Structure 1
Amino acid sequence: MTDNAPSTACIALDETRRVIRVAGGEAEDFLQSLVTANVETLPVGACRQGALLTPQGRILADMMIHRQADGFLLECDATRADDLFTRLRRYRLRRPIDLAQEAELCVWVGWGGGDPPEGAAADPRHPDLGWRWIGLRGDMPPTINEDDVTALETWHARRIAAGVPQGPVDLVPERALMLEAGLDRLGAIDFEKGCYVGQEVTARTHYRGLVKRRLAPLRIESAAATSLSGAAVSEGESKLGTVLSHANTGDGAVCLAAMKLSDLHRLMTDDSALLIGDVPARLAIPDWMLPLPQPARTDGG
């Protein structure tokens, strides 16, 4: 568990997410040919992370894919929902696929203990992330106590500490690569499934070991950490990376940063002092990220 583990169950409403419904007789084949995750093996009632890529293998939108008896619900960051929906409609052509933006649906997340409510799906990316529940806006997950509702930032602190990227801050549209984000180890890519948009580049990067960078979590043990967005991660006079998503932990903060793999390998074996802005920070690599991939030969770090 992360350092942020509460002793009792907690839930939070995630107002930053939007939901798209994909249904119809060919919904499974349609998504299987588009997204990085394997939706054929996704059981009803479960969810899995995936992404829609450009033909060049860059992430357009990441999503959590929920399978239902009559199709799929895709939950994604609200700022990417319109673009994702437009692209899905473009790929649909004349196939018998029903697409709809479900404005009346909302997403809740829960963690920290107790049984998940009926209809919730375990978040498979990391045990600390608990479960996810999609329901009507204004409703709460069944059997949940209102006293358990807490700030969404508490959940994001757990996500970031677990090294799990999510949304366009971490996965910058048309720039981010799946393997540099570690999404291959989080079940968001299936290298055995058939073709999907961006599959050729993603597979080549995987099999030829062409990864140069990695998103890594860092911890700041200081309440002085107030402005982290876009801050530089530095070692002496050298800039090593840039802060992406971040969250306060009460006594400090956690953040994800994009850094060279060569620098991460070196920092794992020495005691170099890191700064985020002018505040001391340290790497906090979770077990699932180890061993780190070897950096590509072209990584001059």
Structure 2
Amino acid sequence: MPYRLRSKVEIENLATKFSCWQRFGGNLSGNTKSAEEPEASSVGYGASIDGTGMSASQGNNLGWQWYTDPRLETLGFRGIFPSNTTPPLVEADKETSEQNYLQWRLEKGVAEGSTEIPKGEAVPLEYNLTGLNAISFDKGCYVGQEFIARTHHRGVIRKRLLPLKFVNESGKEMEQKVAPGSEVVYTSSDKKVGTVTTALGCRGLGLLRLEEAFKGSRILSIRGQEDVKVEAIRPDWWPAEWFPEHQQHTVAA
């Protein structure tokens, strides 16, 4: 079978004409399903439902529409709309800063982009991409497939990307005190547990060893900043087999 590996394309920058929007929040997450809010999956500047998503990429005569974020339902809906208009279902008094969405995403433990998922360095399974509809174990060969498949089927991932909260001794949130690249350590022994990969305000993401991150009453802090304590959070969307106690049981069995 012949394959066409290259073709000439023209790329046009439409950043000034279109904007990417995200609808998120407590009333759109958790148990909210696309079927329970059908208008959010189909509404746009056209009455037809665009199941192929062509309108979002090409702006055809179906209009521009909202689509469930393919990674996690808790992230809400996203869509591409003309920059000179306010998308449907967006209330004027509910529009907020992009920073608030970034914090929402960090709280859920979802990284995106090459800044948060370093190219050539990140191990997809450690960045939880199997739970974000980003990896297929059914398709044919691809670069890195053997390593990824072998690690996945062994079922033991010792490090994972976790949501982090930065607080002081009394548990009060500490803003803008931690930078990406900071090391997370046991406060008592200074033993390294992992590294902060992303930080925003009092929240962040960190690649930590699971067994040590959730080990009893051990207190975590930032190396060189002992006054900044680190709380590692278990995302509620994680499957049970990702947790350390399940992995230990699997290995023992």
Q: Give the TM-score of the pair, scaled to structure 1.
A: 0.58
Matched, 1:100 2:17: no
Does residue 110 of the first structure (1) align with residue 110 of the second (2)? no
Of residues 187, 198, 207, the one that matches 1:245 is 198
Three-state SS of the structure 2 residue aligned to 1:201 is helix
Q: Does 1:226 align with 2:176?
A: yes
Distance 1:138 1:196, change over 3 A: farther
Counterpart code for 1:174: G
SS state of the match for residue 149, structure 2? helix
Distance 1:217 1:99, change over 3 A: farther
Deviation at 1:269, TM superposition (A): 4.1
Which residue identity is paired with 1:242?
T
Structure 1 256/99 Cα, relative in aligned 2: closer, same or farther at 3 Å?
A: farther
Match of 1:257 in 2: 206
**Structure 1 match to 2:50:** none
Structure 1 pair 223–148 and aligned structure 2 pair: CA distance change class (3 A): same
In 2, the alpha carbon distance for the partners of 1:133 and 1:210 equals 36
Whether contact under 8 Å (2:183, 2:194) holds in the other structure is yes
Residue pair 1:165, 1:181 contacting (<8 A) in 2 also:
yes
Q: Deviations over 1:59-90 (max 9, x none)?
A: xxxxxxxxxxxxxxxxxxxxxxxxxxxxxxxx
Amino acid of the structure 2 residue aligned with 1:103: L
CA distance in 1, matches of 2:234, 2:243: 13
CA contact (8 A) 1:218 1:281 kept: yes
- Paired letter, 1:163: G
Structure 2 unaligned segments of length 5 or more: list them: 29-36, 45-64, 249-253
* CA radius of gyration, larger in: 2
Offset at residue 163 of structure 1 (A): 1.2
User: What is the DSSP-based 3-state SS (H/G/I as helix, E as strand, rest coil) of the residue aligned with 1:217?
Assistant: strand
Q: Which string of whole-angstrom CA distances, capped at 9 and with x for unpartnered residues, describes residues 162-194 of structure 1?
A: 111112232011101110101101111111122
Structure 1 pair 215–282 and aligned structure 2 pair: CA distance change class (3 A)? same
Higher helix share: 2
- Equivalent pair of 2:165/2:173 in contact (CA under 8 Å): no
Q: 1:196/1:99 Cα in 2 relative to 1: closer, same or farther (>3 Å)?
A: farther
Please, which of 230, 234, 238 is the counterpart of residue 285 of structure 1? 234
Amino acid at match of 2:184: V
Shift of residue 209, structure 1, vs aligned partner: 4.2
Is the Cα contact below 8 Å between 1:235 and 1:275 reproduced in 2? yes
**Aligned partners of 1:259, 1:271: CA distance in 2, in Å?**
16
**Relative contact order higher in (CA < 8 Å, ≥ 6 apart):** 1
Counterpart for residue 66 of structure 1: none
Check the 8 A contact 2:163/2:203 in 1, yes or no: yes
* Structure in which a larger fraction of residues adopt strand: 1
Cα RMSD, aligned residues only: 2.8
1:215 paired residue among 127, 144, 161: 161
Paired residue secondary structure (2:104): helix
Letter in 2 for 1:240: V
Q: Provide the secondary structure at the position in 1 that maps to 2:214.
A: helix
Deviation sequence 1:96-147 (CA, Å, 0-9, x none) = x856354333211111247535311111333331111112334332242232
Q: Indicate which of 141, 146, 152 corresponds to 2:92.
A: 146
**TM value normalised by structure 2:** 0.68
User: Do the aligned residues in 2 keep the contact of 1:128 with 1:158 (CA within 8 Å)?
Assistant: no
Q: Equivalent residue for 1:191?
A: 137
Deviation at 1:255, TM superposition (A): 1.1
- CA, structure 1 residues 142+199, in 2 after alignment: closer, same or farther (shift >3 Å)? same
* C-alpha separation in 2, matches of 1:92 and 1:107: 30
Contact 1:242 1:259 survives alignment (8 Å): yes
- Structure-2 residue corresponding to 1:78: none
Amino acid in structure 2 at the alignment position of 1:128: T
Contact 1:126/1:162 (<8 A) preserved: no
**Does the 8 A contact of 1:265 with 1:292 survive in 2?**
no
Native 8 Å contact 2:158 2:211 kept in 1: no
The residue type equivalent to 2:14 in the other structure is: A
2:68 maps to what in 1? 122
